[in-house]
Structure 1
Amino acid sequence: MNKSIRTRLIIGFMGVMLPVVVYMLINNSYARNIVREKVSETYLNTLDIFVRQTDRSLEQINDYLFKMSVLDSDVGLLMSFPMDSDVYTLTKIRIDSKLNRDVGVYNLIDSVFLYHKNDIIFGTNSVYNDTKKIIQSHMDVMTTEKNLALNDQHTWQVRADDLMPGKYFLINFIKASEGLYVGAIIKVQDINTMLSIQWSDGDIGYNGIYLREGNRLVQSLTESTTTPALNDELSKEPYASLTDYETGAAYLVMNRLSDMVDIDYRVVIPEETLLRDLLFFRNATLFTPIGFLAILLIYLFFMRNMLFKPLHELIIGMKKISLGMLDVRLKKNKSLEFEFLGNTFNVMAEQIKTLKIDVYEEQLRVKQGELKQLQAQINPHFYMNSLNIIYNLAALNDTETVKKMSLHLADYFRFIMKANRDTITLKEEMTHIENYITIQKIRFPNKLQCTFEGMEPIVNYPIAALTVQPFVENSIIHGFKNRKQLFQIHIKAEMTKDKGFILTISDNGVGFSPEVLIKLQNKEPLQQDEKSSLGIMNVIHRLELLYGEKTSITFGNKTEGNGAIVTIEFP
């Protein structure tokens, strides 16, 4: 028991802190009411400053809306132009630029807008489409003749919409011209977030913003699952002490009304937490510096060899383990607990070292198996196409061509059998493509041409077998539609700064259709009836397995002329 850290901590803590606790209890007996009064006054002043600043910001935004509606020449002239005219569009662009600039000037504004029943111009910090729907739906209602008669341009209105984060928001607008209004939107959630900063997000107390009617709070405008259940009546006193009718806990409640909108800012502080925390700091300031320093030095000296030093060694060992230094081991300690931790740490480090090697080897085996499985899928894909070519030639009784075709197919599939390994050289892949093109030329005499450019520096670069050939095959199947003109395929290699290279396969065919191009760019699977989809998606998966994020593949159409372009970047 003498070696137990828990026993030593209890004895040491009681011996050091007992005088401090006795002193705090004595002092707490007469200082409770004084501290409560002073602290409440401080928090109330903080809330008053926040409410005044917020109202001042709302008033400044009102001034901004008024100046925008009256002084801005673009706003004044906007509705004098036809909406389908170029002048209207240019004016709208200038206004949109101003709004997007001004929305960042005022930290409270979430959106500022110009509204007309046929058009909306706005800048926002929120989701664009959601904001547009909010402005449209609410301004359609608020600009009716009945609601316009009740509108006070100096008073903000509280509105609710499920598209708005936090649901509730403040809105105000000013009429700029006939049918055109300048307005702004402020999220109640943003105001409450600024208010929360004053109270450390619940560490000191709770805060909320409420919709009020007369002397009552009718609706909470902020979401909070921890706010206590208190009376909704507004007190005439600066602050009130209320009791939660569910838990019986006492709280100090402060309310402040806004002059610019019918809302109430409420701050609720648990009296127990308030008094405990503040009395601790008060008593700590009254404690003599010499006595505090003496106790601190004694306790630190006592804890150093018993707790801090072993913990420091354990933390350093853990950091080394996290950095991959698996050979680190801890020394034995005199304390029973740290001796157990040290032995357990050493055993776990040895186990991690062994396990890491086993996992790495298993990942290699899984990766190699997946690559071979993906590569094997390509062989029957081209095999069926080749049989179709032979069938068509045999049907035409062209025996000489069948013989020539058979020889090329033998070379082609001899490559397939030899390529049953992880990687081949780029030169072998290009030779294979030439053989494939020769086979296709037998089918389409004088109609196909394949050229290569920039291959010399990288002919020995290792790639997965059948990485490029599926794209050449895809070009012929889908791009070679006009059989009256020569179909050209061009394969070009360009070196990159990081000693890799970019391989571009292009043709002069019909190119990718918009639907297929979108799917390929998003790496979405193609329809099962779309030929060559297996080969293309297969190549994409194999490149990701081999190189990870170091490689990329893009699809597109030529900007000048017809044809498709496939670009592969190799690290």
Structure 2
Amino acid sequence: MLSYFIIILVCITLVGSVSFYISYKTMASQAEAASLLLVQQIEKNMDNDFHSKRNLLLASYNEQSYIDGVNRYTELSDRERFLFRQKIGDLYLKSFNVTPIRDFLRFQIYYSNGELLSSSDESGQHNPAKVRGSEWFRQTVAKDGEVFYSGFIPAADRTIDGETAYFSSIMIRDFSNPEQFILVRAEYRAELFNSIGRNDGLSPNSSIVILDEGNRLVYASGDAQRYAGGKELTSRINGSQGKFWLSLDGEDRLVSYTNSSYSNWKAVLIVPKHDIFGALDIIKTTVIVTAFIAFVITLLISVLFGQRITKPILDLYKTVNRIKRGDFSVRVEVRRNDEIGRIGMNFNAMQDELQNLIETRYVNQIKLQEAQLAMLYSQINPHFLYNTLDSIRAMSDYYQVQEISEMAQSLADIFRYNTKNKDEIVTLQEELVQIEAYMNIQRIRFEDKISFEQQIDDDLYSFPMLKMTLQPLVENAVFHGIERKRGKGTIAVIVSREGGSITLTVKDDGVGISDKHLADIRSSLKPPLQQGEGLSSDTRSGIGVLNVYSRYRIRYGERFEFHINSRKGTGTEIKLLIPEHLEAHS
């Protein structure tokens, strides 16, 4: 449940974070592009207005008499000068008033020597030397016929009410007489920039800043007046256009600017970050609230319906644990008909089948193995034979027939080993003694046709093993291997240690086993629960092998290994790998 909640919380957080990040980047990109478009539009409007005002400044070029008057001004009489000054003043007065310019304040006309020729009001500087030394005069002359725009007006030049926001000036002359010229200067209010500031596309807290060619402040709207002239802003305004984020008064602001190629003025738009991402803050709050509500609803649903899913699974888990401890009588209580209920019903059916298999197959198979072992014992177990064998041995001694005496003694030893030793576990030494007695009988029977060899590690004689392990294997080697062979044969018993197992090998050089017969024997070597009803008539010769295999497999399980290898005419090898240090199955 905790993992489920964590996954949901992580997913909601991840989706919200990614959505917020994408929205933030998208809005930032759109805001930057929109701000740049707005400031470009401001620049365009400003340039259009400046171009119209330039045409008014060039009004004297429309009539040659004005240019001639400029060229001959120094040669004119006082009366002619007065008339020229009045005529050119009237010209510009009509130019600026025929088509009213809402932000126009005044104009002045100065001659090249600094003399004031005309003025639309009482303003104007009457000191020619001071006029020639002023910055605007020198800058206008340097423009050489281009319009000079400036927002820098010294306090001494601010006449009357000081409403002047900026001015434009131009040099008028005959190109054939560069020394004789007039300068026409027009001053304007800030109405142009105020109208730009009322642009519907601007956010409420946005500010417009206009800088002249020297990065001096011409106009600033809103609270931009406080910082617009600072170097922190102007130092980063370079190039024809651009945008950057600037921290001012503890708040980030997007600054977009463009440099007019016509006037060389800069139009700057400053938008607070809150105006750009205000809607995003609402989205962020909405996402957080939605995520919290979704998490709470998920928690409630999980608590209400989680138990309906987990409780029957926990009951099934507890039942499995009881079965693991050996209690096969327990069953799952089924109270529902959904997938979990069907799992419980199938589990109960599996339990019934498993218990039935245990009772009918496993128990019966063990009984069958015990019956086969008892049958093997009973083949050589009749007690009345003891007295008979003793009588035979006594008679052979009396008549001095040594072979009969030895055979009777060996047979008696074998019977005693099987009947008197009731323990299922014996030592390797005890098994070898019984095999020696058995092989002694076979040597007398076959007149030394069979040779018996032992290769035993010295420390393994006390190794514990199941009773009657070697005898069925050696017997198979005698009757199915050496007895059918022409000439002598050898049977070898080899016991050694390999890794964590004791390897017991019985091999002979007899007639061997055909491939089909060997395949049948190998296929019969299965765990007791998987064995069939018994060996077929063709594989009856493997009953002793199967008996040994089954007894060890029941005791040691998969830790026990059994291998049988043979080829027709080359002999047979049977190898048992018995765990050395592991306890047997209970």
Does TM-score exceed 0.5, indicating one fold? Answer: no
User: When the two structures are superposed, what TM-score results if normalisation uses the length of structure 2?
Assistant: 0.35
Which structure has the larger Rg over C-alpha atoms?
A: 2
User: When the two structures are superposed, what TM-score results if normalisation uses the length of structure 1?
Assistant: 0.36
